[in-house]
Structure 1
Amino acid sequence: MKSKIKIVLLFLVAVVSITAFNVLKKDSTKYNKIKQIESSQSEDKINQESFSDYLQKVSDDTNKKCPMTVDENTRLDNTLVLSGNTIQYNYTLVNFEKGSVDIDLIEKEFTNIILNDVRTNPGLKIFRDKNITMSYYYKDMNGDFVYNYKVTPDLYK
């Protein structure tokens, strides 16, 4: 039974990370296209917008879609822009209680999946270029904290 939970959890974690990165990639791609159009119109106008404003726009756009069902076990509740150039994705594991989640398995497998995607996903290039920290915060079905993984620039560069 515990092995089955581990397999389900690993699958869940992979799906969550892929979905989160796809949402981010879509928003980042949209932003990049807008920036290219603006650059042809006015380079000065582009320089006026800070990257913090961009992060807030990404967060606001994502939050308009939330809560978002990622899969049968995971829901993206919202995103937050935190100090220190950090964007945090807040998830709920809707079918799991904290005691049934194998934290060691998450640390061993899940973090490698996320880190690899952050390092290689073309949609996250703008985040890598701007040294953004991406935080993935998970709570269980009762709202209890389960796990938080922060991907900092020193990890992905």
Structure 2
Amino acid sequence: MSEALVTPGSAYRILACSTFLRRHLTDSYWCSAMDKVCEGKLVGVAVRYTGQRLVFLQFRPKELSTAGYRYPLSMSIPIEYLVPCQSKEDNPGLTADGIVSSQASDEIYTGKQRFAPLCVVCGRYGMPDMVPRRHGYKCKECVGKKSSRRLRLEMRRLWS
């Protein structure tokens, strides 16, 4: 992601573990929907750049709030945690709101093209100097740390 520009209106998922992403966000961002954001279950739409390496994303939760509304979840995410999704035309499982339909929730949203490496420890995507390891790629900071089984599966899906 570091060499690519984020286009407003493009769809992205976050595959980073919540412990790594929490370092970059304030406590006010953490709510029940953040677990779904970090697991890649919610698709976010890029709105604008909010800093040199930050992108303002808007996620639409699947569940209704206690008041009966779907309040969008908006936050600035570091660009290295954004994993691009396939466009809506190429993915019939993606609704107009950017939410993955239930029948497509088990499928990968990114298609079958070649993608930049995903760190199987922290979830960073497309970082320069990724080190190929036995179970996938790792950032230089993550070499020597145990990889996440969930991220290894996501890595396989991205490259299949």
- TM bin, normalised by shorter chain, reads under 0.3
Q: Which protein has the larger Cα radius of gyration, Structure 1 or Structure 2?
A: 1
TM-score normalised according to structure 1 size: 0.26
Higher helix share: 1
TM-score by length of 2: 0.26
